A and B are shown apart, each in its own frame.
Chain A
Amino acid sequence: MMMDPANSTLGRMLLDEITPVVMVLRTPLVEESSQKNQLSFIQMLSPFCNFNNIDVPVRTASDQPYRLKKFKLRLFYASDIRQPNVEVAKERLNQVITDAGEKDLSNLCSEPLQIESVLNSSQNEFLPSWFQYFNKELVRTVSFSEHEAFDHPVSCLLAVSSRDEDPISKFVDLFNTNKLPSLLNDGAMDPKILKHFVLVHDGEEVSLERATKTLAEMRSTFGANCCHLLCINSSKDGSEEHENLWAAYKTDSSHGQQLRFFLSSDDLDELKKFVQDLSSKHIIPHMEQKIRVLNQQVSATRKGFRNQIKNLWWRKGKDDAPENPAGPTYTFSSIESQIRVLGDYAFMLHDYELALSNYRLLSTDYKLDKAWKHYAGVQEMMGLTYFMLDQSRKDGEYCMENAFTTYLKIGSSGQRNATRCGLWWVEMLKARDQYKEAASVYFRISGEEPLHSAVMLEQASYCYLFSTPPMLRKYGFHLVLSGDLYKKCDQIKHAIRTYKGALSVFKGTTWRHIRDHVHFHIGKWYGLLGIFDVAIKNMLEVLACGHQSKTTQELFLKDFLQIIQQTGKTYEVPKLQLPVINIPSVKVVYQDHRTYASQAAIHVKESLWRSLEEDMIPTLSSKSNWLELQSKILPKKFKESNICVAGEAIGISIEFKNPLQIPVSLSGVSLICEHSTAASEPNANNSIGDQNGETSNKSATSGNFTSDTSSFTLSEADVALGEGETVLVQLTVTPREEGTLKIVGIRWKLSGSLAGFCTFDSDIVRKKVMKGNRKSKRSTMDNLKFLVIKSLPKLEGFIHHLPETVYVGDLRCITLELKNPSRIPVRKLKMKVSPPRFLQIGHKEDLEVQFPACLERKSSRQSSLRSKTDKVSDDIFLFPEDTAIADGTPISWPLWLRAAAPGKISLYLSVYYEMGDISSVMTYRTLRLHFNIEVLPSLDVSIQISPRPSRLREFLVRMDVVNRSSSKGFQVHQLSSVGNEWEISLLEPTKVPPSDFLLAGQAISWFLKLKNCRSVTDQESASSLCPPEKADVNLLSGSKTLFDLYSSPLSEFHHYERVHQRISDQEHEDTVDFILVSRSQSEENKRANVFSHHICHRSVRTSSPIWWIMDGPQTVKHDFKEPFCAITLKMIVHNSSDDVVSIRCNASDSAVNISSSGNASAASGNEVGWHDLSLSNDIKTASDTPGARVVKPMSSDTVPPFIWSASSSTHYTLEPLSSRETPMEICVFSPGTFDLSNYSLHWSLSSQSDQGGDESRASSGTCQGHPFYITVLQQD
């Protein structure tokens, strides 16, 4: 499972970084020669210092040699061999980051990746490449430290040019201790260093002979082995091409065709050979040798039990010494330093076992010495050695952790070492796929330096991403942390990059708090960079942040608007989130053949209008004709479109909701429409986005601000939305030309600088078109598509004198004014009103007459009740045939309004008219008017009717009138009974309240007498019998005028009142209707208002169908010397029912009333009652005999004061509505006053009417006689 450690990232890094260092000393002329090729001397040698297969046999401590394959020399000028300046290093690192940021500019504006694609991308292509470089630079900031030996130069390369005067002394001068690195001078390393002398021969300048002479000189001076002649620039014309070798160093210099290159291929070969010789013949053997020597030393002093004990004891003793805060210092000659050198050399020669054993040895020493920095360094190397050996991972990690924490422990000086250690540790973990642990190490590396921390956190985030399973949330979080730090260091581009990465994590989540933060900051930062479009795009995501706190919302909006202002132009945004547009709330109001007089009329349910207009508009068959006609004219595809008329506005109402807690102002809210003339096909592919540039000569859209909108006009609205407010905005578009018009969307300007769009085309639109469901199955877009037809006349309707509030019963005339602004006349006007109980269409002449005088009864009353049949059937009112309206000339028509019932009342009018111009597509239109009035309660009238026992077909009427209004006073004027058969009169003059007015809250009662004057015998002539005046009672003292209740419109209203008040089951004949007329003075215009109250269907019926009265003399004088006095009476019985009634009258003397009743009832055998049927035939004849009954009472002991004589029991039938007079006779035996009520009338409905099914009505009954007193006096 484990790869070769040497091939891992860390392995390569170590083979690169932990290699022998060669210190280079050269004269300026050497540098000059190499600079001819735009290379420094080191650069020139560098490509040849990297050996992939040097294949040198190496024998270190053990006797067994092995072959070294990979080898590298690091060349440094002596001046560079020192600890890098911290500030300079920091500066350079910052530059690295900045450069990387600049390089990334191309990706800056790209969309954030989808998280899936992030996950699928491989690590190498996803990770920014500069991380590697940055990490390397970061590692180098701690190079050449004293406590580590691998950066200490192994050998020294002295280079003198053949052009130099006196090269030998130059060589000596070069190795002048003053110029040497401090490492050599202050004793950290052995100043006795392997030297190698090179004479650089520039073939251009100096002859080869002189160079070889100098070389010989050198050899004699410094020794034959360590001197070398290096020929360069032997190419004369400078046209050699070897760019690729130095590509890595050449990047910053300009690409040079003009640059000359003097190194010939021979030179290159020589360079290569030189470096190889240097490595294999000098440096490696030198190191081998040193390892062996040191190893022997170490073995002698430290290996073995004795040495260990000694060492331990010796170090223990050092504990007492005062502690040096920097830890003890070790010179190169100390055994510790030598072990370290031994370990490092062994490491560099890849003898890791040897290295490890020495490091181990050393680490205990350092630990005991509390030389923490040295200890950490050794631990670090142990960890790396473990890694290279690929064994005991745990130990390796432990060592790295130990080193890391130890470095941190020694304070700020160890910080950068800790960073390096951490980076190596991370790589170690990464090589073993322990990404999660690596991430946490990165997290620990991030120290105080914010920029470095940012880079580390970013790398940590990628570790989370590449861990299995990926920890995306941590990835996002660390990116955000890193971005914040980048921003802190003004690395905005990096900040944007990290946030963008984070966005791909947070995009789909519901963690809006985090997402908003990310979007907002990305937007803000793009704004800082001046990339406004992306900035705005991101900002838009957070605009509708209703879930955020108010301050956050303010911040978002403020910054957003600031960015918008910086752009300096109005910015157009499709699908702007602010305000929220409630697309399902879109309501379209347009007028095809249905036109509306007011907004109120639009909001009435279509079904209501339809039922009103049902009979008025052409019937279905003619409607289909109309459609046929239309389909001939119109292309088929438009048949489904809504139809509207040019010049008439289409209204859209739409809800705007402010999701924020801060007020938002919108301006220029208008619709976006597309218009195309009838001939051209509307371009279906028109998308909003590209409309701006589109200039089709036939279609015009309003998608852009400058477009020619002559074919339609739009309304604009300004809206101020409060906190969380929802506002319904009304917008209109008025097409000017024929064609098709499509409402595409809506646009608005937010805070004056941001233009928002919203199109209605999405599928979520579930729009209600107000105009009913004729085409309800169609898609939304069709509903927003209109076929514009030629301008048509359109009636305008208005009602004059319409009061807002009226009192119940108020009757007044209002005027409907119709106007047609068009020149084309309209005709065949029809009208229908609803509800008829409240509204009636008047007559033309009503306009002229004076109201309410017109209602007053004229001296000669002309022919009474206008029959309803005068009017058009079903209440459709036809205007006179010749009515044609055009040119704005108004016509007026009277309407009668009567407030029938209290409450809020809606009045509907619909006017149908046809076009005078037959050629138009639409042949008719309707005008719909709708009004609301509020009806306040006024007089409350109740009537009680009771029969008057003493009079036949007369009734007592009690009328209670209560003023229910809150403040208004009424004058009760007149009560009329309706119909010709009734007479009404006051029972007695009632006290009328002072000032004649019934004030608010007052009540008054009247008692009236009502008489049915319908002829008993002759029904047909009834109307002529009763003079109409008698049907009215003037209740107002001193007033003579009476209102004619049969005049229009009172009679019509009465009709509907009757219909309304109809008692559910059936209409009885024996009912009476009353109309109470009252008046009041209206405050505003001093005009008398007339109120009519209709009380209908008051039943006068009692429980029995018959009426009777006893008639006879009240007082009789009689000389009682005669045995008895016979008095003749008569009884008039009236059948008021619709059926034939059989009546039997039983008269019984008071004393025997009870005892004889049994017989009496038995005698009346043909009754439907409780009786014995078997006897009926015998006794029937007997009952007809008057004498039979007289005998019975006589037989009793006590003689009653009077007895019924003659036909005391009679039986007859009465035809409906007929009367009969029956004679009665009594015999009185003594003077006195007698009550003749001791008779009873049995009635029974004859069976023929039983099929009427009237169960509620009794079919038979018994009535006791009315009291009738007769006084008989003794005649003197």
Chain B
Amino acid sequence: MIVCVAVVGHQNNPLYIQSFTEADDALKLHHIVHCSLDVVDERVNNPKKSSPTLNETFLGLLYPTENYKVYGYLTNTKVKLILVTTDLDVRDADVRNFFRKFHAAYVDAVSNPFHVPGKKITSRTFAERVSTIVKSFGLSSAG
């Protein structure tokens, strides 16, 4: 299950962070997302030789904590998309697919002329769309 998704701006400022858990663990998820930025930075600054292309946006598993797995995705505007999931075995293809949709939603949200770049994304449409994507992620991985 995806517990949290986040959009982090190019100055590492949170643009959108949404948890999908019942529990009141917003703070924890904030921390996890925040910490994973360290790993993103690391990945970006020292790209592995094994990574196939320089233009790869998907950063892979960032941060395996005890209970969560954190995946990252870096857009070409240096906006980071973060996914926190409790699923222990996640197929890479699923995550890539998720990020592709998530990225598209983000692009649509910031293309809104009333959106101020660098400010938090407050669009309700975006939130709805993201939650739909999150739900569909759960389904596809289950099936």
Contacts and interface: CB of A to CB of B under 8 A. Distances in A.
Nearest to A512: B14
Interface string B13-53: 11000000000001100110011011001100100000000
A898 B112 CA distance: 54
A434 to B, nearest CB: 14
Contacts of B13: 509-511
A477 B31 contact: yes
B27 A471 contact: no
B34 A469 contact: no
Contact of B42 (A471, A477, A480): A471
Given A471-B42, A513-B26, A514-B27, A477 B14 contact: no
B42 A514 contact: no
Contacts of A473: 34-35, 37-38
A958 interface: no
A464 B42 CA distance: 12
A471 B38 contact: yes
B123 interface: no
A477 B45 contact: no
Contacts of B26: 513
Interface in A499-513: 509-511, 513
Interface in A466-518: 469, 471-474, 476-477, 480, 509-511, 513-514, 517
Given A469-B45, A509-B12, A509-B13, A474 B30 contact: no
Contacts of A509: 12-13
A863 to B, nearest CB: 71
Nearest to B33: A511
A514 B31 contact: yes
Contact of B38 (A472, A480, A510, A514): A472
Contacts of A514: 27, 30-31, 34
Nearest to B38: A471
Interface residues of A, number: 15
Contact of A474 (B14, B35, B45): B35
Interface of A is mostly: helix
Nearest to A551: B24
A480 B31 contact: yes
A471 B34 CA distance: 11
Contacts of B12: 509
A919 B66 CA distance: 86
B27 A513 contact: yes
Nearest to A472: B38
A834 B56 CA distance: 74
Q: In the complex, which of the residues A464, A473, A474 has the most CB atoms of chain B within 10 Å of its own CB atom? A: A473
Interface of B is mostly: helix
B34 A511 contact: yes
A469 B45 CA distance: 10
A477 B37 CA distance: 12
A463 to B, nearest CB: 13
B108 to A, nearest CB: 23
Contacts of A476: 34
A513 B37 CA distance: 16
Contacts of B35: 473-474, 477
B47 to A, nearest CB: 14
A776 B8 CA distance: 43
Interface string A456-468: 0000000010000
B122 to A, nearest CB: 11
A1188 B27 CA distance: 117
A281 B42 CA distance: 56
Nearest to B29: A513
A474 B35 CA distance: 5
A1271 to B, nearest CB: 86
Nearest to B12: A509
A480 B12 CA distance: 19
Given A509-B13, A510-B14, A474 B38 contact: yes
Contacts of A480: 31
A511 B30 contact: yes
Contacts of B14: 510-511
A507 to B, nearest CB: 14
A1123 B13 CA distance: 119
B30 to A, nearest CB: 5
Nearest to A436: B42
Contact of A469 (B30, B31, B42): B42
Interface string A292-334: 0000000000000000000000000000000000000000000
Contacts of A474: 35, 38
Nearest to A513: B30
A472 B30 CA distance: 15
Given A477-B34, A510-B13, A511-B14, A469 B41 contact: yes
A517 B27 contact: yes
A1183 B34 CA distance: 111
A1217 to B, nearest CB: 68
A511 to B, nearest CB: 6
A525 to B, nearest CB: 17
A1048 B37 CA distance: 84
Nearest to A548: B26
Interface in A246-264: none
Interface in B66-120: none
A511 B38 CA distance: 14
Contacts of B38: 464, 471-474
Q: In the complex, which of the residues A464, A511, A514, A517 has the most CB atoms of chain B within 10 Å of its own CB atom? A: A511
Contacts of B37: 473
Nearest to B27: A517
B114 to A, nearest CB: 20
A57 to B, nearest CB: 49
A568 B4 CA distance: 43
A472 B35 CA distance: 8
Nearest to B46: A469
Nearest to A515: B30
A480 B35 CA distance: 12
A480 B34 CA distance: 13
A441 to B, nearest CB: 15
Contacts of A471: 38, 41-42
Nearest to A506: B34
B18 to A, nearest CB: 12
Contacts of A464: 38
Contacts of A513: 26-27, 30
A762 to B, nearest CB: 23
Nearest to B9: A510
A469 B46 CA distance: 10
A462 to B, nearest CB: 15
A40 to B, nearest CB: 46
A517 B27 CA distance: 8
A448 to B, nearest CB: 14
Nearest to B31: A477
A474 B36 CA distance: 8
B27 to A, nearest CB: 5
Contacts of A477: 31, 34-35
Contacts of B34: 473, 476-477, 511, 514
Interface in A836-856: none
Contacts of B27: 513-514, 517
Interface string A580-613: 0000000000000000000000000000000000
A412 B124 CA distance: 51
Q: In the complex, which of the residues B12, B31, B45 has the most CB atoms of chain A within 10 Å of its own CB atom? A: B31
A476 B41 CA distance: 16
B1 to A, nearest CB: 22
B19 to A, nearest CB: 11
12 contacts: A469-B45, A471-B38, A471-B42, A473-B34, A473-B37, A477-B34, A509-B12, A510-B14, A511-B14, A513-B30, A514-B30, A517-B27
Given A464-B38, A471-B41, A513-B30, 10 more contacts: A469-B45, A471-B38, A473-B38, A476-B34, A510-B14, A513-B26, A514-B27, A514-B30, A514-B34, A517-B27
Leading 9 A-B pairs by shortest Cβ distance? A510-B13, A471-B38, A473-B38, A477-B35, A513-B30, A473-B35, A477-B31, A474-B35, A473-B34
